[in-house]
């Protein structure tokens, strides 16, 4: 199973779901809606939606079940990038080769576009009144809310901002990775699993899988940046690239063990996990 082929195969489903979730740029206030769409279209790898689809398939469900969660996790991811690029955070002028949202639309509109993307994610995952899924939809929604909150994404970002490389150890770096990156990756997988009908035991296994793969994904991202002399929150300057790579591989192996029993139907999920950590598929 080739991860890039799977990402391409599921791409149309993600684009349609995101298009349906977001107001058109022609709807007032036009600048806000255009700003919301700016970083969603064209997007990045769409890794998190693909993980949601692959998790639904891994638990024996048709992919369609995961559409609401696939759109919602990409919207939360996009909001976090819009805010992360702001002058008060990383102060980046470009992302994916294009001007960031605050450069294109102004800082105030970028803050508000991020806020609206976050709200739009939960509106999308909740669905219209009477939407199918019931308790399972609520479980997926809760996973996403926890992953986006102060004990995960936002708290991880706060600790990243005040990170002190001189005092850090590997455990504190991984704790930030776990909250800032792995939590949303896990919520993508768990949301797909809940909507796909997984039982509690399988959800627990997928939670451990998602945590391991998510942390390994962030280590891999830091290795790509190859900022050995950087003082940022990264295992690479702390352990050196070889040991950081070995840690990512060990996490990947431990994660894959959790889903070993799932058989052929979990192949896309395994392939995406390897791709997230090695970026070579
Ligand atoms: C400001 C609320 C707030 C949160 C910021 C997500 C985040 C927390 C910061 C973004 C920068 C960062 C290092 C995030 C960790 C996850 C990561 C490596 C994101 C990039 O994900 P990809 O590779 O990006 O999936 P594409 O462009 O493919 O969507």
**Cα–Cα distance, 99 to 66 (Å, whole number):** 31
Distance 134 CA to ligand 1 centre (A): 30
Distance 165 CA to ligand 1 centre (A): 20
Using DSSP, state whether 275 is helix, strand or coil: helix
User: Given this model, what pLDDT does residue 281 score?
Assistant: 57
Task: Find the helix packing angle between 267-278 and 47-58, rounded to 10°.
Answer: 150
Instruction: Tell me if 80 CB under 6 Å of ligand 1.
Output: yes
Tokens of 184: 């949303």
| Helices and strands of the chain, counted as H and E runs | 14, 2
Considering only CA atoms, which residue is closest to atom 23 of ligand 1? 45
Of the candidates 102, 97, 84, the residue with the CA atom closest to the CA atom of residue 181: 84
Instruction: Tell me if 179 CB under 6 Å of ligand 1.
Output: no
Of the candidates 161, 215, 158, 156, the residue with the CA atom closest to the CA atom of residue 185: 215
β pairing state of 94-95 and 98-99: antiparallel
Considering only CA atoms, which residue is closest to atom 2 of ligand 1? 80
User: Given this model, what pLDDT does residue 231 score?
Assistant: 63
pLDDT digits (tens, 9 = 90+) for 190-199: 999 999 999 9
What is the pTM for the complete model shown? 0.96
> Taking the alpha carbons of 43, 194, 152, 261 in that order, is the dihedral positive or negative?
negative
The phi and psi torsions of 29 (rounded to 5 degrees) equal -75, 115
User: Given this model, what pLDDT does residue 225 score?
Assistant: 86
Instruction: Tell me if 100 CB under 6 Å of ligand 1.
Output: no
Considering only CA atoms, which residue is closest to atom 7 of ligand 1? 80
The phi and psi torsions of 266 (rounded to 5 degrees) equal -95, 5
User: Given this model, what pLDDT does residue 227 score?
Assistant: 53
Q: How confident is the model at residue 228 (pLDDT cuts 50, 70, 90)?
A: very low
Considering only CA atoms, which residue is closest to atom 16 of ligand 1? 181
Instruction: Tell me if 47 CB under 6 Å of ligand 1.
Output: yes
pLDDT digits (tens, 9 = 90+) for 106-147: 999 999 999 999 999 999 999 988 888 889 999 999 999 999
Mean residue pLDDT across the chain: 95
Residue 173 has what DSSP assignment? H
pLDDT > 80? residue 98: yes
User: Given this model, what pLDDT does residue 230 score?
Assistant: 63
User: Given this model, what pLDDT does residue 146 score?
Assistant: 98
Burial of 255 (0-12, 13-18, 19+ CB in 10 A): buried
Give the Å distances, CA to CA, from 185 to 11, 113, 181, 193, 278.
17, 22, 7, 13, 16
Instruction: Tell me if 157 CB under 6 Å of ligand 1.
Output: yes
- b/e code 160-187 from CB counts within 10 Å (16+ = b): beebeeeebeeeebbbbbbbbbbbbbbb
Tokens of 193: 């699993």
Instruction: Tell me if 45 CB under 6 Å of ligand 1.
Output: yes
pLDDT digits (tens, 9 = 90+) for 41-79: 999 999 999 999 999 999 999 999 999 999 999 999 999
Distance 77 CA to ligand 1 centre (A): 7
**DSSP class per residue in 7-47:** HHHHHHHHHHHHHHHSPPTTSSSHHHHHHHHHTTSS-S--H
Q: Of 30-34, 126-130, 223-227, 267-271, give the lowest mean pLDDT range.
A: 223-227
CA 70 to chain centre: 10
User: Given this model, what pLDDT does residue 166 score?
Assistant: 86
Distance 85 CA to ligand 1 centre (A): 10
pLDDT > 80? residue 167: yes
pLDDT > 50? residue 238: yes
């Amino acid at each position: 199973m080739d991860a890039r082929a799977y990402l391409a195969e599921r791409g149309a489903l993600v684009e349609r779901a995101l298009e349906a979730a977001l107001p058109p740029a022609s709807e007032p206030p036009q600048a806000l809606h255009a700003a919301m769409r700016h970083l969603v279209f064209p997007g990045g790898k769409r890794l998190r939606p693909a993980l949601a689809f692959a998790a639904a398939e891994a638990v024996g469900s048709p992919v369609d079940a995961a559409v609401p969660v696939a759109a919602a996790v990409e919207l939360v991811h996009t909001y976090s990038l819009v805010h992360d690029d702001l002058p008060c955070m990383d102060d980046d002028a470009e992302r994916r080769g294009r001007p960031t949202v605050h450069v294109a639309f102004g800082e105030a509109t970028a803050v508000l576009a991020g806020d609206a993307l976050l709200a739009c994610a939960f509106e999308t995952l909740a669905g219209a009144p009477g939407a199918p899924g019931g308790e399972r939809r609520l479980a997926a929604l809760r996973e996403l809310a926890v992953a986006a909150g102060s004990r995960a994404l936002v708290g991880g970002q706060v600790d990243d901002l005040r990170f002190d490389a001189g005092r850090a150890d590997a455990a504190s770096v991984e704790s930030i990775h776990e909250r800032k990156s792995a939590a949303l990756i896990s919520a993508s997988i768990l949301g797909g699993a809940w909507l796909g009908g997984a039982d509690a035991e399988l959800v627990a296994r997928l939670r451990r899988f998602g945590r391991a793969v998510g942390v390994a994904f962030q280590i891999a991202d830091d290795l790509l940046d190859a900022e050995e002399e950087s003082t940022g929150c990264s295992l690479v300057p702390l352990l050196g690239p070889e040991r950081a790579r070995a840690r990512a591989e060990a996490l990947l192996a431990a994660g894959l063990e959790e889903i070993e029993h799932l058989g052929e139907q979990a192949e896309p999920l395994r392939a995406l996990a390897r791709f997230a950590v090695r970026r070579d598929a």
